Amino acid sequence: MLLRSAMCAAVFLLCHPHAAIAQDAAKSALAEQDLAGRIDAAIAPYFKADAPGATVIVVKDGKTVLRRAYGMADTGKGVKMTPEMALRLGSITKQFTSTAILMLADEGKLALDDDITKHLPDYPARGKKITIEHLLTHTSGIVSYTSKPAYSATMTQEMTVAGMIDSFKNDPLEFEPGSQYRYNNSGYFLLGAIIEKISGQSYAAFLEQRIFTPLGMNDTYYEGFGKSRAPVAAGHTRAATGFGAARPVSMCQPYVAGSLVSTVDDLAR
């Protein structure tokens, strides 16, 4: 009797494949809910309801598993964070800079082992071979301009790309190129200058035409050279009495190392 029941069940599933598909879909949905719940439980404790927050998206196999906002978008105005809000990307900008460099490499317009003086002949390399790969991988030995003592006092100043490069190019190297790793914003600044020189476009225009527009990243832009349809979250600085507005910074200074604005939906693309 038990065998007959099992056989009947098997025949039923064979005759009704939609039932099996529906069952698999239900199991998959439960697994995704469980994953989303576990991720949410891991993230939520880091963001208080009345403190600066974050937006999060998790995509698995092309399907969104979790899309959620935490905390506040603007503590001063009492605006809550929502998943569609745009935020400054900070150093996630570097991913787009390195992608732009690799696009130019794919097109044969540069090579990763090129000496940077091939593209920036006036840069004082002091007899050392500093390559594009060194810049990409934070192994150039060039002083990072954001680590210099005067940076915080001058970060509101409007500067040209050449002017910013002048601010660090004559500093002694911190180590032999390729011998150490040290996080470096100056290296990415030089990559931006190389992108602009080779492409004949501004960094903002290159990314918009080559990456953002083709991918439909409609809420991603270089701050000051574009705008988002999405509301933009405010920046914050921790103060003794809580959180205040972030200190202003001229976005020409982060440049290709940190000047992009985007949403989690665009980044998921």
Tokens, residue 86 = 């745009």
| 255 contacts: CB under 8 Å, gap ≥ 6 | 161, 164, 188, 189, 192, 203
Provide the whole-model pTM.
0.84
Tokens, residue 156 = 């509101």
Helix (H, G, I), strand (E, B), or coil: what is residue 220? Answer: coil
Q: How far apart are CA 261 and CA 208, in angstroms?
A: 12
Q: How confident is the model at residue 241 (pLDDT cuts 50, 70, 90)?
A: confident
Report the pLDDT value the prediction gives residue 26, as an integer from 0 to 100. 63
Helix spans in 44-160 (H): 93-106, 132-136, 151-154
Q: How confident is the model at residue 25 (pLDDT cuts 50, 70, 90)?
A: low
With a cut of 70, say whether residue 64 has pLDDT above it: yes
pLDDT single digits (tens) 180-235: 999 999 999 999 999 999 999 999 999 999 999 999 999 999 998 877 789 999 99
Report the pLDDT value the prediction gives residue 33, as an integer from 0 to 100. 84
Within 10 Å of residue 87's Cβ, how many Cβ atoms? 21
Report the pLDDT value the prediction gives residue 219, as an integer from 0 to 100. 95
Backbone angles phi, psi at 22, to 5 degrees: -60, -40
pLDDT single digits (tens) 124-147: 998 999 999 999 999 999 999 999
**Could you report how far apart the first and last alpha carbons of the chain are, in Å?**
54
In Å, what is the CA distance from 167 to each residue of 26, 147, 164, 201?
A: 59, 12, 5, 23
Percent of the chain residues topping a pLDDT of 90? 75
With a cut of 90, say whether residue 7 has pLDDT above it: no
